[in-house]
Structure 1
Amino acid sequence: MQANIGIEQKHLAAVSHSLGKIMADEFLLYTKTRKAHWCVTGSDFHSKHIFFESQYQQLEEIIDGLAERIRTLGHFPPATLKEFLALTHLTEMTREKNDGTGFIKDLLHDHESILIHLRENINHYGTALHDAGTSDYITGLMEIHEKMAWMLRAHLE
């Protein structure tokens, strides 16, 4: 059954597809953060291990929220690794050294990349696609990423 929530079906499809791309980015960042949690080494292992865990838990909530938003709009979210890799604009992490600083720099770069993408699309959802709800949702998501990026950046100062 189609969602009848005051937004044209073509706009619901466009928003859902766009959110699927964001979800793919989030899933790849989640996976990379999990890798950092599992693979970090060094004298600061314990603190970084716990820090990365808190970050991937936040990303897990973001992913679930995006999937639920897409379902609210009457569509199905991407849900396979193949779909995520096809939709994401991020790259998989390939590291030879498993130091905390290296992981933090990589993850910070991805958070900032996601932030730029979110900022570029906030107004598009509200104006061109007539979906103020998703525009508001993306604003909240952007604020979460800003805080997560700040936490990563603080480790580098």
Structure 2
Amino acid sequence: MSKKTTALPAIDIGISAKDRARIAKGLSHLLADSYTLYLMTHNFHWNVTGPQFNSLHNMFMAQYTEQWNALDPIAERIRALGFPAPGTYKEYVKLASIQEVEGVPSADEMVRHLVVAQETTARTARKLFAVVSEANDQPTADLLTQRLDVHEKTAWMLRSLLAA
């Protein structure tokens, strides 16, 4: 009895293999930043203290929940482009632009760290637009636009907490 092996058909979605690879690489960086931001936000949710506890605890929960739900679409877009999505802490540490926070900062410092992390993630998404536009990749452009909207709005809201 012989086994018949059939090769998978090549991906032909109208985006070259080279462009798909460049986009997947950029999305991998966005996924790493997004996961790192998710983890930071969840950590702060668990560990926030002080007079703003209740409002920050609830705000952080809404933020980390939104971020958790954003991870799948990013990873699945990488897969749709024909590449494996990174999925380990080791890979995320190499790919992420966000610095981890050691210890338990004060509530105000948590907010400051999250402003920086939200804006960093927005910059990571924005950097990819040139490649995506050149490749005529509307689904990735749509994903990036949605993520930018969330990160910029969240950074603004967090920054507003620090205003005198």
TM-score of the superposition, structure 1-length normalised? 0.91
* Residues 58-81 of structure 1: CA deviation (Å, up to 9, x unaligned): 111111110111112122210111
Please tell me the residue identity of whatever aligns with 2:142: D
Residue in structure 1 matching 2:58, options 31, 38, 50: 50
Q: Do structure 1's residue 27 and structure 2's residue 35 form an aligned pair?
A: yes
Alignment-mate amino acid for residue 158 of structure 2: L
Contact 1:11–1:130 under 8 Å retained in 2: no
Q: Distance in 2 between matches of 1:3 and 1:46?
A: 49
* Inter-partner Cα distance in structure 2 for 1:64 and 1:143: 17
Alpha-carbon RMSD across the aligned residues, in angstroms, is 1.5
Aligned counterparts, 1:100-119, within 5 A: 100-119=107-126
| Correspondence for 1:147 | 153
How many residues matched? 155
- In 1, Cα distance between equivalents of 2:16 and 2:60: 40
Q: Does 1:68 align with 2:76?
A: yes
Three-state SS of the structure 2 residue aligned to 1:7 is: coil
Contact map agreement 1:67 1:77 (CA 8 A) in 2: yes
Structure 1 ranges of 4+ moved more than 6 A: none
- Seen in structure 2, the aligned counterparts of structure 1 residues 96 and 133 have a Cα distance that, compared at 3 Å, is closer
| Partner secondary structure for residue 91 of structure 1 | coil
Q: CA deviation at 1:96?
A: 4.5
Selected match of 2:67 from 59, 62, 78? 59
The alpha carbon displacement at 1:3 in A equals 2.9
Identity of aligned residues (%): 34
**Distance of 1:120 and 1:16 partners within structure 2:** 13
> What is the DSSP-based 3-state SS (H/G/I as helix, E as strand, rest coil) of the residue aligned with 1:82?
helix
* Distance in 2, Cα, partners of 1:81 & 1:65: 19
Tell me if structure 2 keeps the 8 A contact 1:32–1:93: yes
Task: Return 5+ residue gaps in structure 2 as ranges.
Answer: 1-7
Structure 2 letter corresponding to 1:102: E
Cα offset, 1:150, TM superposition: 1.6
Larger Rg: 2
TM-score (norm 2): 0.87
CA distance in 2, matches of 1:121, 1:21: 10
Residue matched to 1:92: 100
Q: Does 1:79 align with 2:103?
A: no
